[in-house]
Amino acid sequence: MTTADGAWRAGADGDGQGDGAAPEGWEAPRERWLSTVVRPAFGPRSVLLEIVARLLIPAILTFSVFLLLSGHDRPGGGFVGGLVASMAYVLRYVAGGRHELAAGLPMRPNGLLALGLLVACGTAGAPLLFGRPILETFSFSTVLPVFGTVKFASFLLFDIGVFLIVVGLVLSVVAALGARMEAEEEEARVRRPRREGGR
């Protein structure tokens, strides 16, 4: 019988994703990816899948940035871009397992969430400093040597915030419901006999 007694110690350590003392699951070897000898999340290790994943991921990430930037004129935008980008990581997890996922992350999901929120809040609140209403858009154009006239607008920043948060969400969920559960299953496998007896 699994007690759910919430035996949780306040302040014992981070919520599992604190960077310093990251608990197991995040102890990824800092090797080049796809060279880790870990079982992937599903089924046996598939070289084909890995290679396809490796080839696709940069393309997916680039595409997601494109969607983000072009969203104002074409279908796309922060949501779609963020979802596409996180697909890349999901693919990476499915292909390479949880250690792979951990190794490939630019920063912890909570960090992404906080950063995204800050960017969005900043964009939203900046006009207030000038006595304007919240979320008012401001834009300016400059002429860059290579790109020609580039228009920069604050809603782009806002969309980046959206992008970051969407990525943060998906990673967080994959980390929790995928990687974490996988790690647990491994632990559980060791203890299985005892637990079966208890049921």
Return the residues of window 91-120 that contact another protein according to CB under 8 A.
94, 109-111, 113-118, 120
**Least distance CB 88 / another protein (angstroms):** 12
Query: Contact between 150 and another protein (CB under 8 A)?
Result: no
Q: Whose structure tokens read 């197991």?
A: 24
Residue closer to another protein, measured from CB, 31 or 150:
150
Judge contact between 102 and 26, C-beta under 8 A.
yes
Please identify which residue in 47, 55, 73, 144 interacts with another protein, judged by CB under 8 A: 73
Which of 147, 175, 182 minimizes the C-alpha distance to 69? 147
Q: Whose structure tokens read 């400093």?
A: 129
Query: Contact between 65 and another protein (CB under 8 A)?
Result: no
Buried b or exposed e, range 68-88, using 16+ CB within 10 angstroms:
bbebeeeebbbbbbbbbbbbb
**Least distance CB 114 / another protein (angstroms):** 4
Please identify which residue in 77, 92, 99, 101 interacts with another protein, judged by CB under 8 A: 77
